[in-house]
Amino acid sequence: MKEKFFIERKKTKKIHVGNVSIGGGSRISVQSMTSTSTLDISKTVEQIRLLKKAGADIVRISVPTIHSVESFKEIKRKVDIPIIADVHFNYRIALKVIQYGADCLRINPGNIGNYEKIRMIVESAKDANIPIRIGVNSGSLEEKIKRLYGGPTSEALVDSAMRQVDILDKLNFDRFKISVKSSDVLIAMKAYRLLSERTDQPIHLGITESGSRRDGSVKSAIGIGSLLLDGIGDTLRVSLADNPLEEVKVAFSILSSLKIRSRGIQIVACPTCSRKEFDVIEVVRNLEENLSDIECPIKISIIGCIVNGFGEAERSDIGIVGKRKRSILFNKKEKSKRYVDNNELLRILEFEIRRIIRDKNDQKKHDILIRSHLSKKVEKS
């Protein structure tokens, strides 16, 4: 029997970033941020397209100078994914990117300026009907708040955010989401939990400046994963000092591990020992690389021997169990198993996985056609 799990998400207000709904029970969205110079339009557009292909729902772009505003306008015109403009220090940049079609604006209470500047930004966002993210960060917290709390503590991050919320409330603006990020996982987790108790606005999760691919992935999995288990979070970004495509991959790994949202291949593989009958690590590495284009969720088990192999194969769409010279290939849907030569294992496994994906996609198209046909019949009657 398949064990079922349910995460009760906190109900938050719904806003929209372009055509992506956030909060209010909407699907948890995955964000990333470009690492290119915004002045380099072609490279930035290419990276955005790759991020979309990898599964990102929303992409954020830094707009650091007035000169980069014109580049932002051109970039926005060339892509078809919601774009968030990331603005610090200069409120005039914020006003300009709103005018140029930003789908959302990220501002930092620690450096965006006084009440009058925020008021101008909010009025412009109202006119354009776009949301704002209040993005509090431990590295740029207001000095007066740091002095009050003795540093960028969890309480300090939430205080900064709620002061900004009070301003937006006074300006009668409720289309906003909030983040309270820290590079310290425990501080960030506590801050997000405190924030969730004080607001019903959508919450954007993230561990800021989390580090390299390895360390950043671990920190993000612990921090973001724990909060998601608590039902906190409507959208997320994994921040890595690496190619932003890796951020999207790790984000989906976190969501998939919690059975919240799946995309592409999910591989269950043994860490290997002397019992292995084929090179598990090499097979896994090749599958991840060769099947990176797959969007349809599929679970694959790659186990090097018979100890745990059969049990894992039963819970996967397709699985391989290592045996000497010839391993056993399982197909869950077809309820079949067959022997394959170990020197042909990778080629056959990849072929069978793509065949399963093709069948799933064909079935999906068939189901859509049937639903469309039934809908038309209902309309006629």
As annotated, the binding site for [4Fe-4S] cluster includes: 270, 273, 305, 312
Q: Tokens in use for 256?
A: 């998939």
Q: Are strands 20-22 and 298-303 parallel, antiparallel or unpaired?
A: unpaired
Q: In this structure, how many other beta carbons lie within 10 angstroms of the beta carbon of residue 6?
A: 6
How far apart are alpha carbons 58 and 26 in whole angstroms? 14
Torsion of Cα atoms, 166 then 158 then 240 then 55, to 10°:
-50
Q: Which residues contact 269 (CB under 8 A, 6 or more apart)?
A: 280, 284, 301, 302, 303
Annotated binding site: 270, 273, 305, 312
> What letter does residue 6 receive in the DSSP assignment?
-
Q: How many residues make up the chain in this entry?
A: 381
How far apart are alpha carbons 304 and 278 in whole angstroms? 6
SS3 annotation, 261-295 = CCCCEEEEECCCCCCCCCCHHHHHHHHHHHCCCCC
**Matching residue, tokens 């290419």:** 46
Single-letter amino acid, residue 225? G
Q: How would DSSP label each residue in 144-170?
A: HHHHHHTSS-HHHHHHHHHHHHHHHHH
Q: In this structure, how many other beta carbons lie within 10 angstroms of the beta carbon of residue 352?
A: 19
Q: Are strands 298-303 and 265-269 parallel, antiparallel or unpaired?
A: parallel
